[in-house]
Chains A and B, each alone.
Chain A
Amino acid sequence: MMTSGMFTNYFLPGIWITVQVTVYSALLAAAVAFLVGTLRTSRLWIVRFLAGCYFEIFRGMSALVFMFFLVFSLPLMLRWQLVPMWAGVLALGLTYGAYGSEIVRGALAAVPVAQREAGVALGFSRSQRLRRVEIPQAWPEMVPPFNNLLIELLKGTALVSVIMVSDVTFAANLVRFANNESAPVYTLLLVVYFAMAFVLTRGMRLLERRAKAGVGQEQPRGGLLRRGLHEDAGEGAGALTAGGAAR
């Protein structure tokens, strides 16, 4: 049976590494998602094309294969090596960033055209419009799909155990080698991941509520507009979650 020493000596440090990998790769993925997602709405076709290429390549690529490429191929080809943990973060961040860019693009496209036109009429520059008008309104719509993506990312972090990063899956494998009791070890591991996913989902729900409230508060007088936005959000979210089934 698993002793408590095994838990504190192996599982707890592993959980901490998993949390770190999740946080770093989520930050990288968010940066990539916003960058590529906004670039894909650019007016210049070449920018749209390049951002689209990035999206298609990383959406088609398996994160695990890309991780192995970073850890084993890159050092041999370029004579330049990444620390395994950063290789894992890079692979997860770039891959999930590509999925996230589609969420950002979709949410930006769902902002009513009148908002964009109003920004133009007020003489906002393109970046001002994005920053002040389009992204704040698209944000509440992005949060629920980002939540799903974050859970996928958390699950993806188990892959870094394969490239010798001592995350919680790696720790569980070590414990199994040590005492050959696989049932309690892997059951506990599954429960740990489930608990982390649960905490993340709760956090994102909170964020979602705040984001929705934020949009409402910024438009104190516009009761009509608020309702309009709300309906729009419902439609957009439905289309995103049901994968086009709702249309």
Chain B
Amino acid sequence: MNWDWDVVGDYMPRFWDGVQLTLQALVLGSLIAFGLGLVWAIAQRSPYRWVRWPVSAVTEFIRSTPLLVQLFFLFYVVPEWGPSMSPLTTGIVGLGLHYSTYTAEVYRAGIGGVPQGQWEAATALSLPRVRTWLAVILPQAIRRVVPALGNYVIAMLKDSPMIAIIGALDMFGEARSFSNETFTSEAYVVVGVAFVVIAYPASVLIRLLERRLVLTS
């Protein structure tokens, strides 16, 4: 067993830089996923088939192809005819886009769970469409799905090291370059432990949140 605590000590400053980047990617990626997912979910309830059908097809396609390949696509193909993005930006867009197709399903379940009477009441009060969504349906729908959305944030955290493959220096990217430079391997263990240490309290938190929201709703 070869284990050198000095190597761990040398890696720690870079580890904290990496944690910052990981959290940044996670927060921004989540914001994109939450926003875009809602757009997909509402578009899938559109009365027009030419809106519903393409949105379903695109989300289904994104959901059943690997995030890693999507990142390659965004990083190598999109710059050929579109904007050229830094690895971190590509990673954030990729994570957000990929997970928006999951959050879309979550929102869809939440919107489907709003009783039919709420829609009818909004019609009876002749509320405009926008106001029906914003003031009646979404507040009730989103409240129930907060824990499920939280679960996807944790899932996104676990997928975030993939952005290191296209060159972003998140915790895992820092570990990879540190290990390559120093011919050591302790950094991977540090990152592995860090993932469990971050993910476990987060999942406990979500379980508590779930219990609380279920009790009061």
Binding site for B on A (CB under 8 A): 56-57, 59-66, 68-69, 72-73, 76-78, 151, 154-159, 161-162, 169, 172-173, 176, 182-183, 186-187, 189-190, 193-194, 197-198, 201, 241-247
Contact = CB atoms under 8 A, between A and B. Distances in A.
Contact of B185 (A56, A76, A161, A190): A76
Contacts of B66: 154-159, 169, 193
A154 B109 CA distance: 25
Contacts of B73: 186-187, 190
Contact of A60 (B151, B172, B196): B196
Contacts of B198: 60
Q: Interface extent on B, as a size class?
A: 35 or more
A108 B173 CA distance: 40
Contacts of A69: 185, 188-189, 192
B137 interface: no
Contacts of B165: 162
7 contacts: A60-B158, A60-B199, A161-B68, A169-B66, A172-B72, A194-B64, A244-B147
B148 A77 contact: no
A156 B66 CA distance: 7
Contacts of B72: 169, 172-173, 182, 186, 189
B208 interface: no
Contact of B106 (A72, A77, A197, A245): A245
Given A193-B64, A242-B113, 4 more contacts: A68-B176, A169-B72, A245-B110, A245-B147
Contact of B158 (A62, A76, A190, A242): A62
Contacts of A241: 105, 109
Contact of B65 (A155, A161, A182): A155
A169 B65 CA distance: 11
Interface in B20-75: 61, 64-70, 72-73
Nearest to A156: B66
Q: Which 4 A-B pairs have the closest CB atoms?
A: A60-B199, A243-B148, A158-B66, A197-B64
Contact of A182 (B76, B191, B197): B76
Nearest to A68: B188
B64 A176 contact: no
Nearest to B80: A183
A73 B185 contact: yes
A181 to B, nearest CB: 9
A155 B64 contact: yes
B200 interface: yes
A40 B172 CA distance: 31
